[in-house]
Amino acid sequence: MKTLKHWSFEKQSAHHVELLVDVQHTLCLYVLEDNLFRVLLKRKGGLALDRTWSIAPAQDVPWQGRSRDDLSGFTLPGWTLEKRDDGLSIATSQLRVTVHQPLWLEWHYRDAAGEWQFLTRDRPTSAYLQNAHGDGVAHYMSRRRDERFYGLGEKAGDLQRTGKRYEMRNLDAMGYNAVSTDPLYKHIPFTIARCDEVSYGLFYDNLSSSWLDLGNEIDNYHTAYRRWQAEAGDIDYYIFTGKRVLDVTKAFVRLTGKTLFGPKWSLGYSGSTMHYTDAPDAQNQLMHFIRLCQEHAIPCDSFQLSSGYTSINGKRYVFNWNYDKVPQPKVMSQAFHDAGLKLAANIKPCLLQDHPRYQDVASRGLFIRDSESDAPERSSFWDDEGSHLDFTNPETVAWWQDGVTSQLLEMGIDATWNDNNEFEVWDGEARCHGFGNAIAIKHIRPVMPLLMMRASMEAQQRFAPDKRPYLISRSGCAGMQRYVQTWSGDNRTSWDTLRYNTRMGVGMSLSGLFNVGHDVGGFSGDKPDAELFVRWVQNGVMHPRFTIHSWNDDQTVNEPWMYPAITPAIRSAIELRYRLLPYLYTLLWQAHADDEPMLRPTFLDHEHDAQTFEECDDFLLGRDILVASVVEPGQRRRRVWLPDNETGWYDFYTHAWHSGGQWITVDAPLEKLPLLVRAGAGLPQSERITHVSAEKDDTRALQLFPVKGVGRTSGLLFEDDGESWGYQHGNALWVEWEMVCDSATINLKVNARGDYRPAWKALKVSLPAGEKRRLLVNGIEGGEWVI
């Protein structure tokens, strides 16, 4: 690669500066917010891809993508430009960039005292590189000794990424090793650098396959550095600061788009297995699942149909019902609905070459095209070859939406499960329609799943306009949170997977994917033994997505009742989730409304506590529940670090109080998931329900965990009908509470706003066992607040 070196000032506009680099390239420095800058390199004055689908600071992007010149949605604050003989600097009230000669950038932030402090810099010895006669580009930055790197979305191994190398290339990584396999399904080249005084985010808006080295590589001729390198495309990155890591994550979500606020039932238990739909009597197997849930008293809200319902001779054919297996789809759907369960159906974006509709789709030009002919591209897919649909063609989108509507929604299916959408089209020059401006697939591969899920979502919205859509997607890129819930793909059964999937999920959450989960029990390989299955379910019920899904090698099925001896423990864990659904639903609301992560590493709210940055198996569900999953066989006592806070922590079960900033050991019998609750919290809860129903959910409790001594804390409970858009017009209930504690009294002040009135009429307030202080609710004794 050739290093870009010499630059000269070209021009200044209202929101950016342009520099001429090596007499032929243009470097643009944009000032988007006081703490958000953008660096864009236009090679020979142009761009390899003039659109983006990830950047959505105010509203969703157009189908054809957002122009890279579009700066709408940013405040575009005032800034100053200072020119010197050896460079120039651009500064806002919070962030400053200095451009040095030869080309490298240096960044400073303004501290609380108003002084400029060093943040980061490019590598002075060769920072920006490009292939002189090809597509590749690279960017090198220096590394600080105190930097810890996080982010990158869905990655195996430890949560901290420092000192490792990663690849962004969407792959169908069936049975991956959760400790080491890379790459995986998603493309999110976003890193968080946590420093002692301030943190910053760096997002490369480039959709081609890329590599990020965060300190694995060293070179004698350069000081310590980090590297991003892409197969193709442009250097276009956003850098932004935050006092805390949490601020950086929230800023990234604001940059790439709000989290979809799905229906409440999407937080319930969702059953699934490849076995049922692969069976010759798939409909009977599926109907039997309903009966088994009732027989074993397992709460459940939905079931996900794996792709076997579309099979012909064992292969999968999207939008094709195998009526031998499922003779009456509408009857089956109605049976699930009568039991209070929703259905999601698996769909895939590739048509095998012998698909009944292949020739018709090919004749209409709806596939991605081969790079050297006008024929559809051919790629390996599900033990055969097939062609991938081109979602940058509006006619393909219409064809897809017709299939979703006629073959799924009209059959009674409630949601789409967008799967196997990594678009492994390895002819990088294969041509996409590009909405009328042809694009090689190497530039936009991760956009294809994004547009696929968007097409599915819009079909669902048109079919049921009064209901919020729920979708699932395995693959995607930054911005996919605008449309779907996701999961960590086809994991392999092992204790290591249980441990490292947790870190993977927290890593996705730090990277803007808040609504995540895993295939509980493991998808592939050996079936889990009874102990592993219990621990996996206990862990899974504390994730936003809770699905037991499997394709075990021995044809067994991971089901709540698969081991009779432990079924009570499984039931207890699932019942705990349903008890906490009001809390989970409030977290989903806050993820959408306030960009708050649902899963949180323990350091996210306790950065002053150095111990929380050590790799661990704990995480926070919201700010208030500390989950200490058991991830080792035979463990019946669990050592837990309680993050240092001002209020301490309660044992969820015994209500014993512990001060923060210490190790404690808690009991962890097989039947119990160790949980701690932040002192000062209030957990909204419901009575046991079998599935989400606004009409039947007629009780609500608020369990308080007051601070010891004197303190003031607050919280929120969000309620609505669970599926409509009413909240946009005030038809929801926001119950805000403040808890004021002193030595004698716990005074809960409750205030509500919004027009919605739930089935429950009173909020029953309770205190921990052994709490002797007097409880007042809005100044009245009695432990109850009436709407």
For position 85, what pLDDT does the model report?
Answer: 82
Q: How confident is the model at residue 743 (pLDDT cuts 50, 70, 90)?
A: very high
Burial call 661-678: b when 16+ CB within 10 Å, e when fewer: beebebebeeebbbbbbb
Q: How confident is the model at residue 774 (pLDDT cuts 50, 70, 90)?
A: very high
pLDDT at 385 over 90: yes
Phi-psi sector, 610: left (phi>0), alpha (psi -120 to 50), beta: alpha
HEC readout, 502-547: HHHHHHHHHCCCCCEEEEECCCECCCCCHHHHHHHHHHHCCCCEEE
Q: For helices 495-510 and 530-540, what crossing angle results, to 10°?
A: 10
Environment class of 52 (CB within 10 Å of its CB; exposed 0-12, middle 13-18, buried 19+): buried
pLDDT at 86 over 90: no
Give the pair of three-digit tokens for residue 136. 């590749």
Q: How far apart are CA 731 and CA 722, in angstroms?
A: 11
For position 755, what pLDDT does the model report?
Answer: 97
Q: What's the whole-number mean pLDDT along residues 439-447? A: 98
The amino acid at 371: S
pLDDT at 508 over 90: yes
Q: CA torsion sign, 205 to 211 to 215 to 220?
A: negative
3-class SS shares of the chain: helix, strand, coil, % to 5: 20, 35, 45
More confident residue, 314 or 561: 561
DSSP state of 488: -
The amino acid at 482: R
pLDDT at 132 over 90: no
Which residues lie closer than 8 Å to 515 by C-beta, 6 or more apart? Answer: 259, 260, 262, 481, 484, 485, 486, 544, 545, 588, 591, 598
Give the pair of three-digit tokens for residue 392. 């940058």
Task: Kindly state the greatest CA–CA separation across the chain.
Answer: 82
Which residue, 686, 662, 606, is CA-closest to 267?
A: 686
For position 622, what pLDDT does the model report?
Answer: 98
Measured CA distances, 267 to 134, 300, 303, 542 (Å): 47, 10, 12, 10
pLDDT at 756 over 90: yes
Per residue in 247-302, pLDDT (tens digit) is 999 999 999 999 999 999 999 999 999 999 999 999 999 999 999 999 999 999 99
pLDDT at 397 over 90: yes
Per residue in 143-190, pLDDT (tens digit) is 999 999 999 999 999 999 999 999 999 999 999 999 999 999 999 999
- Domain spanning 2-256: which superfamily? glycosyl hydrolase (family 31) (2.60.40.1760)
Q: How far apart are CA 781 and CA 412, in angstroms?
A: 49
For position 167, what pLDDT does the model report?
Answer: 98
DSSP notation for 68-81: TT--TTS-----EE
For position 196, what pLDDT does the model report?
Answer: 86
Q: Pick 693-786's CATH classification: 2.60.40, 1.20.120, 3.30.230, 1.20.1260.
A: 2.60.40
The tally of CA atoms less than 13 A away on the side-chain side of residue 159 is 26
Give the pair of three-digit tokens for residue 1. 């690669």
For position 451, what pLDDT does the model report?
Answer: 98
Q: How confident is the model at residue 467 (pLDDT cuts 50, 70, 90)?
A: very high
Q: For the chain, give me the number of helices (H) and strands (E)?
A: 12, 55
pTM of the model: 0.98
Q: What's the whole-number mean pLDDT along residues 489-506? A: 98
pLDDT at 134 over 90: no
For position 779, what pLDDT does the model report?
Answer: 95
**Beta-strand (E) ranges in 183-337?**
186-187, 190-194, 199-204, 210-213, 225-230, 236-242, 270-273, 302-305, 311-312, 315-316
The amino acid at 617: D
The amino acid at 440: A
Do 2-256 and 693-786 have matching folds? Answer: yes
For position 721, what pLDDT does the model report?
Answer: 98
Per residue in 60-84, pLDDT (tens digit) is 999 999 999 999 999 999 999 999 8
Which residue, 473, 479, 449, is CA-closest to 350?
A: 449
- Mean pLDDT score of the chain: 97
Q: How far apart are CA 29 and CA 18, in angstroms?
A: 7
Q: Pick 599-678's CATH classification: 1.10.10.10, 2.60.40.1180, 3.40.309.10, 2.60.40.1930.
A: 2.60.40.1180
Q: What's the whole-number mean pLDDT along residues 540-545? A: 98
Per residue in 216-243, pLDDT (tens digit) is 999 999 999 999 999 999 999 999 999 9
For position 133, what pLDDT does the model report?
Answer: 78
Residue 409 sits at the vertex; the CA angle it makes with 404 and 411, to the nearest 5 degrees, is 115
HEC readout, 327-370: CCHHHHHHHHHHCCCEEEEEECCEEECCCCCHHHHHHCCCECEC
Q: How confident is the model at residue 433 (pLDDT cuts 50, 70, 90)?
A: very high
The domain ranges of the chain are 2-256, 599-678, 693-786
Q: What's the whole-number mean pLDDT along residues 750-757? A: 97
